[in-house]
Amino acid sequence: MRWTGVVLLLAAVAACKQPAPDRLTLLFLRASPATRAEKLSWAPDLPGGRVVAFDDHLHAQQVMTLGIEQPVAVAFPCNRHLIVSDFSGDAVDFDSGQVGAWKSHFPASMFVSAGCWSAEVRSPYLIEPFTPDTVKGVFIVTNLQNPAPFRMGEVRKAALPFLTGPENAGAIALDSLGDVYYAPVSRDEIIKYTAGGVVRWTAKRGLYAKEEEPKFLPNRGREIPLLMARAGIALTLGPDGRLYALGADDSMASRLRVDVIDTATGTILLTKHLEPNETAVALDGRDSLHTFDADTLLKGVGVETREAFSPSFSLPDLKGDTVSLKEFAGKVTLVNFWASWCDPCREEFPHMAGLYGRFSRKDFGIAAISDDVDPAKMRAFIAGFHPPFPILVGGGRMKAVYRYRGLPYSVLLDRQGRIVKRIFGFGGAQEFRELGDAIAKEIAAP
C-alpha cells in the first residue's frame, strides 16, 4: 500500500500505557469497531481525527492523520486498500489518497471488510432522515475479485418515508466467507446473513421492555428532533471466531454493554456491562475480555499535526470586492459554508453572530461563504439577518471544491490557517458553546 506522507511511526512507550495482561486484540475504541491487519489492531479515534494502529500490548505503532477528518470505521479489503469511513458518510482510500474514491450508495455510508469481501451499510453514526434514500437493500456487498456489488437484506418499511434511513441504519461485520452480521441501530436484534443473502439466525439481547419505532418529536423552532433507540452501535469479529456486539442498555446509549455471540447459532455466550470509563475493549489470547480507558491508551500517542486548509479561496463579497483566505492570516478563523435554502443555516447564523461579537477582530474572524446559485435568494436571506461578519459569494461551486456532504459545514482554523476542527451540520447552542471554548483556547495559545 502507498501511504506516502500519511503514516507517522511511533516508539512504543510502555510508561504511557496501561499494563496489558496478555497479547491483546483491540475490539472497540469508544463507539467504533477495530479491525485486524498486518498484525496490528487498527482503530478510528474520532475525537482525535486520526486512525491509530496498536500492537498486541496495546502500544500505538502507527498514526494516520492526513486526509482524515472524523473517522468511525476502518476496512482493509484484500489487504490492498485502507478505507477509512468518515462520520460525514464519505470514505478515504489510502491506496490513492483520495476522498470519495469508494462510491457511497446511501446518504451516509460506513464500510467494513474481511478478506476480499467488503460491505457498505447506512451509517449508524450519522442518521439523515431528510435526505432521499431509495436504495433497495439493507447493505451492499462486493467481492473485489469479482467486483459486481449486490444488495442484500430486506429494507424495513417505515411509518414515514423520511424514516427509511433511521429504520435501516446499523452496525455491520463481515467474515472471510462473505457472511454478514447486521445490527440495526433502532431495534434490538442481530441478524446473520449468508453470502447468498439467506437469513441464518436472529439474536435478541432483551435490551428494552418495550421497543418503539423511530419517530419525530414536536418541532423546536425549525428543528425536528428524532427519537430512536441506539441498540446496534458496533460489531466486530474476534480472532476467536466469535461476534462481539457493542450496544446500549438504554435508548440514550449512556450505559454500554458488550455481548459475545456464537456465530454458528446466534447464542449469546456472555454479556459484559461497561462502566463509563471503560471505553476500549480488547480480547486476550485466552479469549477473555479486558477493558481500558481510551484516553489513557491514547495518552502521549504521537504529536498532533494539523492539516492546512485547502484549497485556499479568493471570492467576491457582497460589494464585489475580492476577499482571500490570506487576509485572515494571524487570526483564528471560522470558515462557514451555507445557503439560503438551508434551514439549519438559519438556526446557526445568530449563534455565529454571537461568536463574532464575543472576540476581538484582531484575534478572530468569520468567512461565511454562500453556496447559493441564485444571488437574489442569497441577498434576501442576508437582508433578514444583517450578519456582522463578511459574506462571500461561492456561486454554487463550493460543494464540488470542498467535498462536504451537506450544509451547514464549518471549519475552524488556527492562526496559521491549519484545521483545528470540522463541524458538520448544526448542533445547537451546546455545540456553539464548545466552539466558543475552542476558539478561546486557540486565541490564548502561544
Cα–Cα distance between 354 and 47 in angstroms, integer? 25
* Position 428 pLDDT exceeds 80: yes
Reported pTM: 0.70
Cβ(246)–Cβ(188) below 8 Å: no
Which tops the pLDDT comparison, 66 or 116?
Answer: 116
What is the pLDDT confidence band of residue 165, given thresholds at 50, 70 and 90?
confident
Among residues 20, 85, 5, 101, which one has the least CA distance to residue 55? 20
Q: Is the peptide bond before 311 cis (omega within 30 degrees of 0)?
A: yes
Q: What is the pLDDT of residue 427?
A: 78
Classify strands 332-338 and 364-370 as parallel, antiparallel or unpaired.
parallel
123: three-class secondary structure by DSSP: coil
Instruction: Please state the length of the chain.
Output: 446
What is the distance between the alpha carbons of residues 115 and 178, in angstroms, rounded to a whole number?
Answer: 9
Task: For residue 85, give the nearest of 191, 193, 25, 172 by alpha carbon.
Answer: 172
Q: What average pLDDT score do residues 195-211 get?
A: 87
Place of cell 470542498: 402
Q: How confident is the model at residue 104 (pLDDT cuts 50, 70, 90)?
A: confident
Q: Which three cell numbers stand for residue 133?
A: 434514500
251 confidence band (pLDDT: 50, 70, 90) = low
Q: What is the DSSP string of 223-247?
A: B--EE------EEEE-TTS-EEEEE
pLDDT tens profile 281-295: 999 999 999 999 999
Please give the residue that has the higher pLDDT: either 200 or 81.
Answer: 200
Instruction: Please report which confidence band the pLDDT of residue 7 belongs to, taking 50, 70 and 90 as the band edges.
Output: very low
For 276, counting Cβ atoms within 10 Å of its Cβ (0-12 exposed, 13-18 middle, 19+ buried), the class is: exposed
Section 7-28 average pLDDT: 56
Query: Closest by alpha carbon to 281, among 26, 38, 71?
Result: 26
State yes or no: pLDDT of 239 exceeds 80: yes
Give residue-wise pLDDT tens across range 318-345: 999 999 999 999 999 999 999 999 988 9
Confidence of residue 17 (pLDDT cuts 50, 70, 90): very low
CA-wise closest residue to 282 among 38, 40, 12, 118: 40
Superfamily of domain 314-444: Glutaredoxin (3.40.30.10)
List pLDDT tens digits, range 357-387: 999 999 999 999 999 999 999 999 999 989 9
87-101, 299-313, 404-418 — which is least confidently predicted?
A: 87-101
> Could you give the CA distance from residue 180 to residue 160 in angstroms, rounded to a whole number?
27
Per-residue cell: 120: 457498505
**Extents of the domains making up the chain:** 7-298, 314-444
- Determine the pLDDT at residue 4: 34
Domain with residues 7-298, CATH architecture: 6 Propeller (2.120)
Residue 32 near residue 111, CB atoms below 8 Å? no
Same fold, 7-298 and 314-444: no
Nearest to 224 by CA among 171, 160, 170: 160
Instruction: Specify the pLDDT at position 152.
Output: 81
Q: Between 221 and 380, where is the model more confident?
A: 380
In tens, the pLDDT along 132-154 reads 788 888 988 888 887 677 788 88
